[in-house]
Amino acid sequence: MGEYINTLEPEKAVLIGVSSQDQPLSQVEDYLEELAFLIETAGAIPVKKFIQKLDTPNSRTYIGSGKLNEIKRFVKSHEVDIAVFDDELSPSQIRNIEQELEIRALDRTNLILDIFAHRAKTAYAKTQVELAQYEYLLPRLTGMWTHLERQRGGIGLRGPGETEIETDRRIIRTKIANLKDQLEKIDKQMITQRKNRGKMVRVALVGYTNVGKSTLMNLLSKSEVFAENKLFATLDATVRKVVIGNLPFLLSDTVGFIRKLPHHLVESFKSTLDEVREADILLHMVDISHSGFEEQIGVVNQTLQEIQAADKPVLVVFNKTDAYSYVKKDEDDLSPKLRENLTLTELENSWMAKTNAPSIFISALKKLNIDELKSLLYEKVREIHVTRYPYDDFLY
Ligand SMILES: Nc1nc2c(ncn2[C@@H]2O[C@H](COP(=O)(O)OP(=O)(O)OP(=O)(O)O)[C@@H](O)[C@H]2O)c(=O)[nH]1
Ligand SMILES: [Mg+2]
C-alpha cells in the first residue's frame, strides 16, 4: 500500500496552539488566525484549529497525549497532510509528534522560512533565505540523527549515523560560508549604490506584513510594486524617488515584520533592512482594521529595536480606515467603552492623546486623506532637507 501523493491537490493542515496563564485563549485564537493566513499564503488549506489549555508544555510531544489522540482521529478521518504548531518545537518534539500523528509536523518558524523560500524572486532574496534555512538546519541536524546514531553505532564503533551527520554538517557549513561570501559581494555593490544616492532625504516604509506598505509606495511614487492580500508579498527592498511639491526624497518599501520572525531571517535580511537602518524618517504603517493592530505595533517596534533603528523620527500612518469597523454600544449600556467600541474618530482622539509621535489616518486603497499625508510628509522631509542643503533655494 504505497503512499499516494497528489501534487495537484493543495495540502490540508491542522493548526495547533496552546493557551496558558501568559497566553489567554483569545490571544491564541488571534495567533491561530494569523497562522491560518500564513498556511494559506504557503499554498495549503487550514482545515481545523486545536487549542489546548496547558501551563507547561509536554517535553516529549509539546501537547498532552489526550489532545494528540483527538488530533490523530481528526487527521485520519479528514485526510490531513500536515500539523502546524504556532510555537517553536524542538527537533525531538517534531519527531515524536510525526511518529504519533503519522503526518508531517511544522512549527511557525519552519512555515515562515518555507514561505520566504517560495516567495523570494531575486537572486539576492533567494540567497538570503537559503542562508537562513541552512542556519536553521545546522543545529537541528543532531536532533534529527541521534536516534540513528544510537541504533546503528555499536559499542566502541563510530556509527554510520554519526559519519553521516559529520558529512552533512561539513556540507552545510561550506554552503553557509559560500552563501555568506555571495551576499557580501552583493552587499558591497549595494553600499556603493546607496552612497551614490547622495544626501537626499531617505524615508522608509515599515510595518507589520500585509498592512499596505506597497500599496502606499505605489500611490506615492506611481510605481508598480507587487502588492497583494498575502503575507510577505514584498521581500526585496525597493527604492523610488518621490517628489512632493518641489521637494525630492527617496522612499523605500521593504519586507514586512511578523510576530516571531525567525531570528535567522532577521539576520540574513540585515542588508535588506539597511534601507530601514539608514533611513532619516520611518513611516510606520498600521492596519487599523485588524483587531490585533496594537500588538502588531509592539512587534514592529521591537523588531526595529533589534535592527537598531528604533531611535528615528517616526510618522505613524494608520491605514485601511475604509475597512475599520466597531461594535456599537447600546445607549443605556454604562459599562466602560472597550477599544472595539470606539468609532474611528474616538480612536483617533484617544491615540493622539496617548502619544506624541505624529500620526495620520488614511486609506491607501480608497485614496482617503492622502493629501494630508503628503503635506505632513513634506514638512518632515523639509526639516531634514534644509539642514543638508542650506543653500538650496528651491524652497523659497
Ligand atoms: N481595505 C483596504 N485594503 C488595503 C488598503 N491598503 C492596502 N490594502 C490591501 O491590503 C493588502 C496588502 O497590501 P500590500 O500593499 O501588499 O501590503 P504590504 O504591507 O506591502 O504587505 P507585505 O509586503 O506582505 O508585508 C492588499 O490586498 C491591499 O489591496 C486600504 O487602505 N484599505
Ligand atoms: Mg509589500
Let me know: does 258 contact 299? Beta carbons within 8 Å: yes
List residues near ligand 1 (CB under 6 A): 207, 209-215, 227-229, 231-234, 256, 319-320, 322-323, 363-366
What is the torsional sign of CA 338, 340, 343, 344? positive
pLDDT at position 58, please? 93
Contacts of 8 (CB under 8 A, 6+ apart): none
Across 118-127, 268-277, 356-365, the highest mean pLDDT is recorded for 356-365
The Å distance, Cα 365 to ligand 2 centre, comes to 13
Residue that wins the pLDDT comparison between 112 and 140:
112
Ligand number nearest CA of 213 is 1
Pick from 11-20, 183-192, 248-257: least confident:
183-192
Res. 160: pLDDT tops 70: no
Q: What is the pTM of this model?
A: 0.84
Q: What is the mean pLDDT of residues 340-345?
A: 87
Q: Which residues surround ligand 2, an ion (CB under 5 A)?
A: 213-214, 233-234
The Å distance, Cα 264 to ligand 1 centre, comes to 26
Q: What is the mean pLDDT of residues 170-177?
A: 89
Pick from 69-78, 136-145, 166-175, 229-238: least confident:
136-145
Pick from 104-108, 188-192, 306-310: least confident:
188-192
How confident is residue 8, by pLDDT bands cut at 50, 70 and 90? low
DSSP assignments along 243-266, one per residue: EETTEEEEEEE-PPB-TT--HHHH
Question: How many Å apart are CA 159 and CA 87, to the nearest integer?
Answer: 33
Pick from 38-47, 51-60, 147-156: least confident:
147-156
Residue that wins the pLDDT comparison between 269 and 164:
269
CB crowding 347-362: b at 16 or more within 10 Å, else e: bbeebeeeeeeebbbb
How confident is residue 393, by pLDDT bands cut at 50, 70 and 90? low
Cα pseudo-dihedral 276, 278, 280, 284, rounded to 10? 10
Residue entry with cell 517628489: 243
The Å distance, Cα 388 to ligand 1 centre, comes to 33
Task: Tell me which DSSP letter residue 330 carries.
Answer: P
Res. 272: pLDDT tops 90: no
pLDDT at position 3, please? 43
Q: Which grid cell sits at 231?
A: 503575507
How confident is residue 396, by pLDDT bands cut at 50, 70 and 90? very low
pLDDT at position 151, please? 41
Q: Which of 365, 362, 384, 385 is nearest to 373 (CA)?
A: 362
The Å distance, Cα 284 to ligand 1 centre, comes to 14
Residue that wins the pLDDT comparison between 177 and 157:
177
The Å distance, Cα 364 to ligand 1 centre, comes to 8
pLDDT at position 2, please? 38
Task: Tell me which DSSP letter residue 205 carries.
Answer: E
Alpha helices in the chain (DSSP H): 25-41, 65-78, 91-101, 108-119, 123-137, 141-152, 160-195, 213-221, 263-268, 274-277, 293-306, 344-354, 370-388
Query: Is 200 strand, coil or helix?
Result: coil
Res. 350: pLDDT tops 80: yes
Q: Name which residue sits closest to atom 7 of ligand 1, judged by CA.
A: 212
Res. 159: pLDDT tops 80: no
Read off the amino acid at residue 273: L
Q: Which grid cell sits at 46?
A: 487550514
pLDDT at position 394, please? 58
Q: What is the mean pLDDT of residues 117-124?
A: 82
Contacts of 6 (CB under 8 A, 6+ apart): none
pLDDT at position 395, please? 53
Q: Which grid cell sits at 245?
A: 511639491
Read off the amino acid at residue 360: I
Residue entry with cell 553557509: 176
Q: Which atom of ligand 1 is nearest to the CA of 217?
A: 15
